[in-house]
Amino acid sequence: MEKTGIYTKKVIKYFKKPHNYGRMKNPDGVGKVGNPVCGDVMWLYIKVGKNRKEKEIIKDIKFETFGCVAAIATSSVITDLARGKTLGEAMKIDKIEIVKSLGGLPPIKLHCSVLAAGALSEAIYDYLTKNGREIPKDFKERHQKIKKEKETIDERYKEWVKIEEKMHADEKI
Amino acid sequence: MKKIYLDYASTTPVDSRVLKVMLPFFSKKFGNTMSLHSFAQESKQVLEESRELLASFIGAKPSEIIFTGSATESNNLALKGIAFANSKKGKHIIVSRIEHPCIMESAKWLETQGFEVTRLPVDKYGFINPNDVKKAITEKTILASIIHASNEIGTIEPIEEIGKICRERGIYFHTDAAQSFGKIPIDVNKMNVDLLTASSHKIYGPKGTACLFVREGTRIEPILHGGGQESGLRSSTVNVPAIIGFSEACKICKREMKKEIQRQTKLRDKLIKEILEEIPGSYLNGHPEKRLSNNVNFWFKFVEGESIIIQLDLLGIAASTGSACSSVKLEPSHVLLAIGLKPQEAHGSLRLSLGRWTKESDIKFVLKVLPEIIKKLRKISPFK
């Protein structure tokens, strides 16, 4: 795969001209993952519709991302991958598919693909819970895992802020 | 595509005048300075002439200049060399929170060897308060090491004052001048320093050489043991081609410094003023005036540094960031956190560093494209 700097040409292409970015009005589901402290935040919005077979599909999808090149490229590519898919199919999009669609990611950026897959599953989860649907067991577990990871980071951040605040308070003495 | 290099603080190209002086020393005048034949004598003479030139550039004696392989090595030698030679007197060392990683990591390693390290805070501009140094010194303190000018935000520290305090209290004082050397006047006596690190590749000399000024009479141990080159402080076959290049680079800097400071300050201030005017939510890191004439460092609200760098790179502009995502570590720049930025703010930083070949048209081009880049990235960002 041809490369530009540490990124593949495909990553740069998606980064340069991201697809489907911006805020969505009245979304059916929203997935918010990441933490500004770590430098990556992804918000994914979905609208759910039905296909000809009356199955629920992702009719529209948009993202907003604060982050590095890989974060923006993975957000963009997942919107392309998910659009038009049934909810069941969309739930199955994983980090491997995202990385493949980008022709690879540098090892230190692989977490961005995890983040993007997480954002989509969180958006679907949000839609399902809002509409009182039954949630598949493994999907629920996935949600719990993402939630727990987010809390761990938030907790770590709290510690960090405390240390920083203390240091700056010390300066004033 | 036209390429614009604005990362001179990271490294510089070798000046063609420097390269010309170096070339004969690779294949024709290649002798080992430690041998006894005529080839060696020629190399030895060039080495000593280079040493004299470097010494005169900073007001030192030639015997006080130790050539090393990099500024990182010089800084390691200063910290570890002083620590181990003076541990009987005490095991306390003072550094600041905005040192280069090679000082930070050396200090951290010394802690594992039983030394105690105090890391001094800085104010919002990155200044170290000399009074904090005074308060931190105990009877166990052997060394203070404070950066001359920040590699990230360009803030020039009150070295003279800090040096005076260290001298009064009888502790050694080292300054890492890798960024300031060749760019602003340096006089080791006026600055009251006992040790000073200077680098070649930041001033249009070759990579692979640097020096450490070690004041006569300083108790210091070497890190590298061997043939006893550089007064026994740095055993290794002497890199003569690089050293003569380093000294030629100094000669040019000395000649052109005054003019370059004026020229670059003007360009720097134009960049700062217009970025602040043109880009809402942009904040200058470091002091508006007491900074290196080639350093510009900003943070932009709601965007991430690496994305800015790659957008600039796609347009042919080379810049750098202290942002986490661009490095292996996930934490943002320790320097930006030290001046009080929140992690999410520090992630949005951009450093543009000017140099000998930066033209006004380059600055104008950056000013034309940067506001658009920030605007575009903010459109993608969830934070508004």
Give the per-residue pLDDT at A173.
39
3-state secondary structure of B121: coil
**Contact state of A38 with B324 under an 8 Å Cβ cutoff:** yes
Q: Which helix (H) or strand (E) holds A4?
A: strand A3-4
Tell me the two tokens of residue B143.
């060394």
- In angstroms, the CA A141 to CA A157 distance is 24
pLDDT tier at A64, thresholds 50, 70, 90:
very high
Using a CB–CB cutoff of 8 Å, tell me whether B294 touches chain A.
no
Choice among A38, A96, A108, A163 that is catalytic: A38
**Contact state of A21 with B380 under an 8 Å Cβ cutoff:** yes
**Contact state of A38 with B310 under an 8 Å Cβ cutoff:** no
Using a CB–CB cutoff of 8 Å, tell me whether B131 touches chain A.
no
* A-B Cβ pairs (cutoff 8 Å, strict): 82
**Contact state of A36 with B383 under an 8 Å Cβ cutoff:** yes
Respond yes or no: is residue B325 known to be catalytic.
yes
Per-residue 3-state assignment (H helix, E strand, C coil) for A5-56: CCEEHHHHHHHHCCCCECCCCCCCEEEEEEECCCCEEEEEEEEEEECCCCCE
Which of A9, A42, A68 to mutate against chain B (most B CBs within 10 Å)?
A68
Choice among A102, A112, A120, A123 that is catalytic: A112
Respond yes or no: is residue A38 known to be catalytic.
yes
pLDDT tier at A163, thresholds 50, 70, 90:
low
Cβ contact A61:A46 at 8 Å: yes
φ and ψ at residue B134, rounded to 5 degrees: -55, -45
Give the per-residue pLDDT at A169.
58
Partner residues linked to B94 by β-bridges: B118, B144
Give residue A21's domain range. Answer: 3-172
Residue A168 pLDDT greater than 60, yes or no: no
Cβ-based burial of A59 (10 A; exposed 0-12, middle 13-18, buried ≥19): middle
- Residue A78: give its domain's CATH number: 3.90.1010.10
Q: What confidence tens digit (pLDDT) does each residue in A115-133 have? A: 999 999 999 999 999 999 9
Tell me the two tokens of residue B235.
């055993």
Cβ-based burial of A166 (10 A; exposed 0-12, middle 13-18, buried ≥19): exposed
Give the per-residue pLDDT at A31.
97
Other CB atoms within a 10 A radius of the CB of residue B350 amount to 26
Which of B312, B315, B381 to mutate against chain A (most A CBs within 10 Å)?
B381
**Contact state of A5 with B121 under an 8 Å Cβ cutoff:** no
Residue corresponding to tokens 């070339």: B23
Give the per-residue pLDDT at A160.
64
Which residues in chain B land under pLDDT 50?
A: 324-327
**Contact state of A41 with B383 under an 8 Å Cβ cutoff:** yes
Choice among B166, B211, B253, B325 that is catalytic: B325
Q: Which of residues 36-75 of B touch A (CB under 8 A)?
A: none
Using a CB–CB cutoff of 8 Å, tell me whether B7 touches chain A.
no
Closest to B273 in 3D by CA, of B285, B259, B288: B288
- In angstroms, the CA B54 to CA B65 distance is 8
| 3-state percent helix, strand, coil for chain B, nearest multiple of 5 | 45, 15, 40
> Residues 6 or more apart from A72 whose CB is under 8 A from it?
A14, A15, A18, A65, B307, B380
Partner residues linked to A7 by β-bridges: A4
Give the per-residue pLDDT at A154.
77
Interface ipTM:
0.89
Per-residue 3-state assignment (H helix, E strand, C coil) for A144-171: HHHHHHHHHHHHHHHHHHHHHHHHHHHH
Give the per-residue pLDDT at B323.
57
Which of B303, B323, B344 to mutate against chain A (most A CBs within 10 Å)?
B344
**Contact state of B323 with A38 under an 8 Å Cβ cutoff:** no
Cβ-based burial of A107 (10 A; exposed 0-12, middle 13-18, buried ≥19): exposed
* Residue that wins the pLDDT comparison between B60 and A164: B60
Q: Give B-chain residues touching A66 at CB under 8 angstroms.
A: 302-304, 381-383
Cβ contact B251:B53 at 8 Å: yes
Give the per-residue pLDDT at B356.
98
The structural domain count of chain A equals 1
Using a CB–CB cutoff of 8 Å, tell me whether B1 touches chain A.
no
Give the per-residue pLDDT at B358.
98
> pTM for this one?
0.93
Which domains, ranges and CATH numbers included, belong to chain B? 4-11+257-380 (3.90.1150.10), 16-252 (3.40.640.10)
Residue A165 pLDDT greater than 90, yes or no: no
pLDDT tier at A164, thresholds 50, 70, 90:
low
The chain A residues in contact with chain B (CB within 8 A) are 5, 7, 12, 15-16, 18, 21-23, 32, 36-43, 63-72, 108-109, 157, 160, 164, 167-168, 170-171
Nearest to B306 among A63, A68, A157 (CB): A68
Nearest to B382 among A7, A43, A164 (CB): A43
Q: Give exposure, B252-263, as e/b (b: 16+ Cβ within 10 Å).
A: bbeeeeeebbeb
Handedness of CA B286, B288, B290, B292 (dihedral sign): positive
